[in-house]
Structure 1
Amino acid sequence: AWAARSHEAGVPERAGAYLAVSMPGADGSSTLHAAPLPSALVERAERIAEGRAFLNVLQTERGRVQRGFFLPFILAYASLAIVAIVTGSVLAGRLARPLEALAASAERTSLGSTDTEVARTDKGEVGDLQTAFNRMIRRLAAQKDELSRLERMAAWREIAQSLAHEIKNPLTPIQLAVQELRDRYPGSDDRYGALLSDCGEIVDEEVASLRRLVREFSEFARLPEPVRKPGDPADLLHELGKLYGERVTVAAREGRVVWFDREEMKRALINLVDNGLAACESAGREPVVNLNATEEGGMLVIAVEDHGTGLSDDKRAKIFEPHFTTKTDGMGLGLPIVQGIVYGHGGTIEVESEEGVGTTFRLLLPTGEETG
């Protein structure tokens, strides 16, 4: 089968299983030449034609498919971007808020405040930072309190030294003058002589009291540096037990070697024991004080426990202040001296007390040669 068509010269045309070529003539007519094609070539040509048609379909559909995938991709990408932004904002806020709180607390601390601890709000690195910050604040508060205490103690020692000097100077002339009056009275008036003698005794007693006050002031003003030597604190406690007899009970393991100034520590413990016995008597109870020595965290702990009147919170906060006393005949210098001795050893002193139950003083002392 073939079809005659007008084509340009030399252009082949497939017509069924023939190859037809139309050749134009000089007179305007066309001559058609046709030749049968091999079946294999025809099949191959048909497959090529089918492939080309399929390619055209794919090219047509490609644009639609691309447009169909592009919109969901954009939507998915935009959704992921929004989720990422929101999540990042939330995480940044969670991280920034505690850091901002730390910065604000640090700013208040730089202005002198020590009540700037922050709550731990995270279990990770930020939480560790918050814990470290709070630890630093507590150390700063302790150092600030210690500095304030040292300043007060320095002021009181200066006052005590001045008072000791001013009081001590006139005591001897006063006592000598009264003694001179009493010894040189030439009269025979027994009543006047007895009055003069009584007045002399009163002056002697008051001068002795003032001398004791001067001695207390002087000791408080010039606490010596402790001379620390190795020794067994149990020996010191048992020595006090023998000194006070049944009024003091001792519980201490022997054989423990600690560096301390035995005489200064004995002085401090005697002061605490005397205070405890007086507190028991004031409470109407049997005057007994318990002494014991233990070790806690590498520190020697000497506890002095009484069952006396106890202390209120207000009094407990003031007992180490010079000139504060709970006794009618006290001078308020004993406990500051005890505190100074303990601090001189590089230790600390704690007070546990309950009104109507009793008081326990805990002396925490380093056990080694170095106090730092």
Structure 2
Amino acid sequence: MRTPRFRTRLFLILAAFAFLPALVLTLAWSGMTARILPRLSSVGAWDQVAESGEAAIRAAREAPGAARTDSLLRRHEEELGESRVQARRFRFLVNRTAAVLLGLGLLVMVIISYIASRVAGHLSRQLSRPLDELVGWTERIARGEALPAPGDEQTKGAPEFGTLRERMRTMAVDLEAGRRSAIEAERLAAFRESARQVAHELKNPLTPIRFAVATLRSKVPPELRDTVEVLDAESTRLEAMAKNFAQFGRLPEGPVADVDLAELARETARATLPRSVTQEVKTDGGPFVVRGQHDALQRALTNVLLNAVDATQARGTVSLRIIGRNGMVTLAVRDDGVGIPADALARIWEPYVTTKTGGTGLGLAIVKQTVVSHGGSVEAESAPGAGTEIRLIFPAAAAATATEPA
């Protein structure tokens, strides 16, 4: 047997709570009326008085009396007869009235039942429709679909349902963020594992190749010198590539300490940017101290600066700005280079995505991995011909989470 819908069950429950008490009260009132009214009429008492009065009158008439006595007896006899007639009329009315009152009670019960059904139907709609809608929302959340925007609800319901909708929207956003984070973590884990394997496979033959190239360089005849130089350059490039793969294949490691990002930015900019590039380092707010690995942070910033140099073709301006506010420290690197197209901007953080000839596409992926492992996040803003700004955002040392990067 199919179970009735929630709305139907709710309607029957509410209607029963209104109908059953009304039925019981109506039947009780009608029965009590039918029993009490005849007793209130005193018809039986009047019949007894009439019978005893008639007997007294007959006894008085059998004895001789005065004319005044006969007159009084006749008058009393007439009044008794009139009283008995009135009592019988009242009993007739009472019998008819009980049936009328019973009918009125049933009519009142029908009216109350109708009103109760309307109220029950309204309440069931006010409760069941929002609940049905929210059940549908849970199915959409399970499928990963977007929830309706505020104001697009099919039915409003009580204010508590509005609060529940907002909580479900917040929960859906959190679940979607967690789902994306889990997927991203799985992707990065797969990328890191493949990078470790590639680095391992490259390093094994590279070591003897580098030794062989060094040996050939000292013994090669002049006509093969160019060939040896090509081997040396390509093996050096492969070695750098292997280092990049190895670096991406593992999380930042080393001692954890307080790192002043402003000082780190100045040192790294001086060491990385060529003289042909105009450099600017500015600070805003403070403090600028984060908790993390100095070397890993320096490598990440170096990758960002090298990309800025490439974007400006080593002739533009690269500015660094360190901002400390609201428990967060932001390190922003802006260049006035060629910029990045909008369709490629969202993918610059993905591994193996590059626009450089011979690049591995791991530079910014390593940057993101380093920042995320320090509890931070990355942002990018760019437009073709207007330059690019890369922002590395970290929790300040005082606001850093208890879980330190491995």
**Number of the residue aligned with 1:347:** 376
**Number of the residue aligned with 2:194:** 159
Report the number of matched residues.
341
**CA offset at residue 57 of structure 1?**
7.0
Counterpart mapping for 1:331-346 below 5 A: 331-346=360-375
**CA offset at residue 181 of structure 1?**
4.5
Query: Is it true that 1:293 corresponds to 2:323 in the alignment?
Result: yes
**Number of the residue aligned with 2:185:** 150
From the two aligned structures, give the one with the greater helix fraction. 2
Secondary structure in 2 matching 1:165: helix
Structure 1 range deviating more: 136-145 or 351-360: 351-360
Name the amino acid aligned to 2:61.
S
Secondary structure in 1 matching 2:65: strand
Q: 1:48 to 1:343 in 2, by over 3 A?
A: farther
TM-score after normalising by structure 2: 0.68
Q: 1:289 to 1:326 in 2, by over 3 A?
A: farther
Query: Is it true that 1:259 corresponds to 2:291 in the alignment?
Result: yes
Q: 1:160 to 1:117 in 2, by over 3 A?
A: same
From the two aligned structures, give the one with the greater strand fraction. 1
Q: In 2, are the aligned partners of 1:306 and 1:360 still within 8 Å (CA)?
A: yes
Q: In 2, are the aligned partners of 1:290 and 1:306 still within 8 Å (CA)?
A: no
Name the amino acid aligned to 1:174.
I
**Number of the residue aligned with 1:81:** 113
Q: 1:95 to 1:239 in 2, by over 3 A?
A: farther
Q: 1:342 to 1:236 in 2, by over 3 A?
A: same
Q: Which has the higher contact order (CA 8 A, sep 6+)?
A: 2
Name the amino acid aligned to 2:395.
P
Report Cα offsets for 1:326-362 as digits up to 9, x if no partner. 2234211111111111121122223344444443333
* Inter-partner Cα distance in structure 1 for 2:268 and 2:83: 116
* Inter-partner Cα distance in structure 1 for 2:168 and 2:68: 99
Structure 1 range deviating more: 149-158 or 248-257: 248-257
Secondary structure in 2 matching 1:117: coil
- C-alpha RMSD over aligned residues: 4.1
**CA offset at residue 147 of structure 1?**
1.9
In structure 1, stretches of 5+ residues that fail to align are 1-6, 14-18, 24-30, 38-42, 186-192
Q: In 2, are the aligned partners of 1:223 and 1:340 still within 8 Å (CA)?
A: yes
Structure 1 range deviating more: 152-161 or 113-122: 113-122
Counterpart mapping for 1:243-254 below 5 A: 243=271, 244=273, 246-254=278-286
**Number of the residue aligned with 1:102:** 134
Secondary structure in 2 matching 1:324: coil
* Inter-partner Cα distance in structure 1 for 2:388 and 2:108: 73
Report Cα offsets for 1:137-168 as digits up to 9, x if no partner. 22222222222222222222222222222222
Query: Is it true that 1:21 corresponds to 2:53 in the alignment?
Result: no
Which of structures 1 and 2 has the bigger CA Rg?
1
Q: In 1, are the aligned partners of 2:336 and 2:387 still within 8 Å (CA)?
A: yes
**Number of the residue aligned with 1:214:** 242
Counterpart mapping for 1:14-163 below 5 A: 21-23=60-62, 31-34=63-66, 36=68, 74-75=106-107, 77-107=109-139, 109-110=141-142, 113-118=143-148, 121=153, 122=156, 124-163=159-198
Counterpart mapping for 1:262-281 below 5 A: 262-281=294-313
TM-score after normalising by structure 1: 0.73
Q: 1:97 to 1:352 in 2, by over 3 A?
A: farther
Q: In 1, are the aligned partners of 2:278 and 2:318 still within 8 Å (CA)?
A: yes
Query: Is it true that 1:223 corresponds to 2:255 in the alignment?
Result: no
Identity %: 32
**Partner residue of 1:330 out of 346, 359, 363:** 359
Query: Is it true that 1:366 corresponds to 2:398 in the alignment?
Result: no
Name the amino acid aligned to 1:11.
A
Secondary structure in 1 matching 2:324: strand
Secondary structure in 2 matching 1:288: strand
* Inter-partner Cα distance in structure 2 for 1:162 and 1:175: 20
Secondary structure in 2 matching 1:304: strand
Q: In 2, are the aligned partners of 1:226 and 1:345 still within 8 Å (CA)?
A: no
